[in-house]
Structure 1
Amino acid sequence: MSKIAFITGATSGIGEATAIELAKHDYNLIISGRRAGRLVELSKRLTSEYGIKVQTLVFDVRVRESVNDSINALSEEWKKIDVLVNNAGLASGLDPIQDGDVEDWEKMIDTNVKGLLYVSKCVIPLMIERKKGHIVNIGSIAGKEVYANGNVYCASKHAVEALTKSMRIDLLKEGIKVTSISPGLVETEFSQVRFHGDTERAAAVYKGFEPLNAEDIAETIWFVVSRPAHVNINDMIVMPTVQASSVYINK
């Protein structure tokens, strides 16, 4: 029987690429996101091109009741989740701390930290019941080091780093693997979201060098989830060749 992977934030970028990559390897998929139309389109593509089964869940990870209702409503067969990819996340704004927009702060904390917790809280008991599973949390180089004007985004990704380590310890006796993948610069919709739709400013972030793309991270996720049962990749930092840290980039 095919394994089941649950991917949050699957409507674009790393989440969408991960769905495609895992479908290539015969995973049935639960894909979630806020944009119903995109989920439907992706579902049709996955089923037609790869012959897998797909379940779509439309919710915002920030809304706990919606997360709970959507996951709890899954059939017993779909609740046999083998892999959870906590991918939903965002940056909003790039201002010094004293000029930060509180709405941006709340959006990042609610999505990157609380959203990850809400989804994990629903899925972990299902994995414990079966004494197996693998949780992959998508962190960031911003969870390893801070940079100017990154303040709250960096804090939220440092929280993901801490939660990942805590999950690994707490779930050790349950036989559940926990992995953190921390990308550097990846060209997706990330910067467009960070700069509130300013496509010109977003494009400038990646000018003068070749960044990672969503498929690079999707392939990394496939690598970690395809290891043998006795092997867990705890932590991976993945950067474009031209990047040495969050601020040192060879352009």
Structure 2
Amino acid sequence: MPDSTSIPAGYRCALVTGATSGIGKAIVMALRDAGLQVIAVGRSREALDALQAEKGVIALQADVRQTEAFAEILRQYPVDVLVNNAGILSTRAAFQGMDPAEIDNMFDINLKAPLQLTRQVLPGMIERGHGHLFFLGSSAGRAPHPGAAVYGASKAGVSLFCDALRCDLLGSGVRVTEIAPGRVQTQLYRTAMGMEAAGSELYDGYESIMPEDIAQLLLAALRLPQQVDVTRLEVFPTAQAVGGSRMVKTGI
């Protein structure tokens, strides 16, 4: 049974981008199980249809770069929790060999889209005197990772934005939390590298964080008393250290 007793009073509706798989889907289900109405945003119609069948979930097919697509849903459902999860690592090419379109693509989705969506939901949060903004950052935005110069720059922008936004929101009752994980078992690297290459290089023999682990961290921050704001959660597999590729294989 959903248990909303530990969610701060007044929190009723959440919006999650990149909601159709991986971390986003895990967060949708965790927030739904915590008693919130959840708007799940993604691009895959088939995956959204499956989410729509879940009680307490509203599926919205939208590209996060098209901010006008959110106007109507935000009028109908005042959002108390925004999870800016959608992100892309479209290539792991060295910067000098990267297609210029990939640079724009990663900055548009990873940095510009979360800022624009946050700007849309903030007035309502400030008016109600509460709200929680979550941003999925990355260890690549905190330390250099090979093959992630542009991706890392976009996530570093998210990280600094979160810090500066908290300054702007002091006294508003709106909380801001960045979650910056290391290696998580998702489709992110598989999209950039292909399934087989990502498996052999990044996952096979390594213990990774699972999407459900990130969802539980988010819930832990949300459930803290309203006057407590977790600024940043950096989380790594036990066998990975800060600094990109420093990982060891286990269980082999």
| TM-score under structure 2 length normalisation | 0.90
Query: Which ranges in structure 2 are unaligned for 5 or more consecutive residues?
Result: 1-9
Report the aligned-residue RMSD.
1.4
Q: Which amino acid aligns with 1:59?
A: A
Correspondence for 1:208: 205
1:243 aligns with 2:252: no
Alignment partner of 1:118: what SS? Answer: helix
Aligned equivalents of 1:137, 1:2: Cα separation in 2: 18
Matches of 1:226 and 1:71, distance apart in 2: 26
Counterpart of 2:175? 177
What letter corresponds to residue 115 of structure 2 in structure 1? L
Counterpart of 2:70 in structure 1 is 71
1:199 matched to 2:198: no
1:11 and 2:14 equivalent? Answer: no
Query: 2:204 corresponds to which letter in structure 1?
Result: K
Secondary structure of the residue aligned to 1:236 is: strand
Q: Number of paired residues? A: 238
Which residue does the alignment assign to 1:60? 63
* Aligned match of 1:227: 224
Pair 1:227–1:206, CA change in 2 (3 A)? same
Matched, 1:217 2:214: yes
Q: What does 1:14-53 correspond to in 2, within 5 Å?
A: 14-44=23-53, 46-47=54-55, 52=56
Give the aligned residue type for 2:120.
Answer: C
Kept in 1, the 8 Å contact 2:52–2:59? The answer is yes
Runs of at least 4 residues off by over 2 Å: 74-77
Any idea what SS the aligned residue of 2:47 has? Answer: helix
SS at match of 1:73: helix
Distance 2:75 2:92 in 1: 43
Describe the SS at the equivalent of 1:85: strand
Contact 2:137 2:180 in 1 (8 A): yes
Taking the aligned partners of 1:42 and 1:10, their CA distance within structure 2 comes to 9
User: Does residue 1:162 correspond to 2:165, yes or no?
Assistant: no
The aligned amino acid for 1:218 is A
Distance 1:219 1:229 in 2: 18
- Paired amino acid for 2:46: G
Cα deviation for residue 76 of structure 1 reads 4.6
**Residues of 2 paired with 1:167 and 1:189: CA distance?**
29
- Superposed CA deviations along residues 57-98 of structure 1, whole A, max 9, x for unmatched, are 2111122xxx22x3221265512x111000000111112221
Give me the whole-angstrom Cα distance separating, in 2, the residues matched to 1:178 and 1:76.
22
SS of the aligned residue for 1:89 comes to coil
Aligned residue identity for 2:59 = T
Distance 1:75 1:100 in 2: 37
Retained in 2: the 8 A contact 1:86–1:138? Answer: yes
AA partner of residue 27 (structure 1): L
Aligned partners of 1:7 and 1:19 also within 8 Å: yes
Q: Letter of the aligned partner of 2:199 in structure 1?
A: A
Is contact 1:141–1:183 with CA below 8 Å preserved after alignment? yes
Alpha carbons of 1:209 and 1:75: their partners in 2 closer, same or farther (altered >3 Å)?
closer
Amino acid at match of 1:216: D
Conservation of the 8 A alpha-carbon contact between 1:2 and 1:26: no
| Distance in 1 of aligned mates of 2:146 and 2:77 | 43
Tell me, yes or no, if structure 1 residue 188 matches structure 2 residue 191. Answer: no
How do residues 112-151 of structure 1 correspond to structure 2 at under 5 angstroms? 112-151=110-149
d(CA) in 1 for partners of 2:234, 2:129: 28
Distance 1:146 1:180 in 2: 18
> In the TM superposition, what is the alpha-carbon distance from 1:154 to its structure 2 partner?
0.6
